Amino acid sequence: CVRLSVTNGDNAYGSEVVATVLDPKATSADLILLSMDNRNFARSECRQLRKKNKNEDYTGYCEYFEKKYKEEIYGYARTPAVRIGGVDLASVFIERNKFIKSNIFFNEFSSAKISGSCAGCQDGAWVQTMVRKHKWTTHIPPISGLKHMIFHGPSPLWCIAS
What order of strands is seen across the sheet that includes strand 36-38? 11-13, 150-152, 36-38
Q: Give how far the C-alpha of residue 100 lies from the chain's centroid of Cα atoms, to the nearest Å.
A: 22
| Phi and psi torsions of 140, nearest 5° | -125, 90
pLDDT band of residue 157 (cuts 50, 70, 90) is confident
Edge-to-edge strand list for the sheet holding 92-95: 3-5, 92-95, 31-33, 138-139
pLDDT at residue 42 in the model: 62
Per-residue pLDDT reduced to its tens digit, 16-25: 999 989 888 8
Residue 93 DSSP one-character state = E
Q: Tell whether the torsion through CA atoms of 127, 130, 135 and 139 is positive or negative.
A: negative
Beta strands at 92-95 and 3-5: parallel, antiparallel or unpaired? antiparallel
Residues of the chain with pLDDT > 90: what percent? Answer: 25
- Over range 113-126, report the average pLDDT: 70
Summarised one tens digit per residue, pLDDT across range 27-52 is 899 999 999 887 666 655 566 677 77
Q: How far apart are CA 1 and CA 4, in angstroms?
A: 8
Give the distance from CA 129 to its chain's centroid: 17
Which 8-state DSSP code applies to residue 154?
S
Note the pTM of the prediction, 2 decimals: 0.80
